[in-house]
Structure 1
């Protein structure tokens, strides 16, 4: 396990992740972000971050769940590398760490969704041997 990767379990660590998460979720504001992460953590959400040089370089929000279709699985809600830190291996390192977490928790599968417009992310996931297995449909209510 990488010593550079750990869970954001304090308000301070969650706040430190904001700038990186904001790149993927620009609708979020700093204080509501911290409160939302804390609420989601009470429901099983975890926020991991990779730090180098005293700065957060990549973040991953994830949760464990179970379904009839997949069995026990780890689902990645958010996976972001800071735009200034891309192509330095941080995303791959964090992805490998997440997969190790899934295996250690007895998960049969590892899942994430990616917006259809995120072509660079798709190339990354395919390069990391992930498969496109479904279309995700949504309806705003």
Structure 2
């Protein structure tokens, strides 16, 4: 029997329950900052979060937003994807990413894009080899308040 379910995190309670897993990726955020940023992104930027549950436990979380740019056209940007450290290599990230692929197709978006930190070699291998993503560009960042 399959005990896996994907659920949208659409309430403060559900979003808060996902913090321990999300914090494994976004280690710079405390729970208050996380809650504030998720609320603002949902309100202003169409950000959506989904969790993969194994029975009652969150094992992976994905956050994404639909976008339109001249370069990509209509696409979905994956902002966050993390599997609980103790649950990795079980196909959970793949299940969530495929869920987003299907969501994008159902909502008339043409592609899915994401960025991944330079040091995340295992993630790069996952995206390129397992999920067949191609490198499209470099992402550059300049901090304005240091």
Distance 2:82 2:107 in 1: 23
> Match for residue 91 of structure 1?
93
Q: Deviations over 1:63-120 (max 9, x none)?
A: 0010111110000000000101101110110010010011111011110000010000
TM-score, normalised on structure 2?
0.92
> Match for residue 135 of structure 2?
132
Secondary structure of the 2:24 match is: helix
Distance 2:139 2:69 in 1: 16
Secondary structure of the 1:98 match is: helix
> Match for residue 30 of structure 2?
29
> Match for residue 10 of structure 2?
9
Distance 1:122 1:134 in 2: 14
Distance 2:41 2:114 in 1: 17
After TM superposition, give the deviation of residue 131 of structure 1 in Å: 0.5
Q: What stretches of structure 1 move > 4 A for 4+ residues in a row?
A: none
TM-score, normalised on structure 1?
0.95
Distance 1:53 1:84 in 2: 16
Secondary structure of the 1:50 match is: strand
After TM superposition, give the deviation of residue 40 of structure 1 in Å: 0.9
Alpha-carbon contact 2:21-2:58 (below 8 Å) kept: yes
> Match for residue 123 of structure 2?
121
Distance 1:34 1:13 in 2: 11
For the aligned residues, what is the CA RMSD? 1.3
Distance 1:69 1:26 in 2: 31
In structure 2, runs of 5+ residues without a counterpart are none
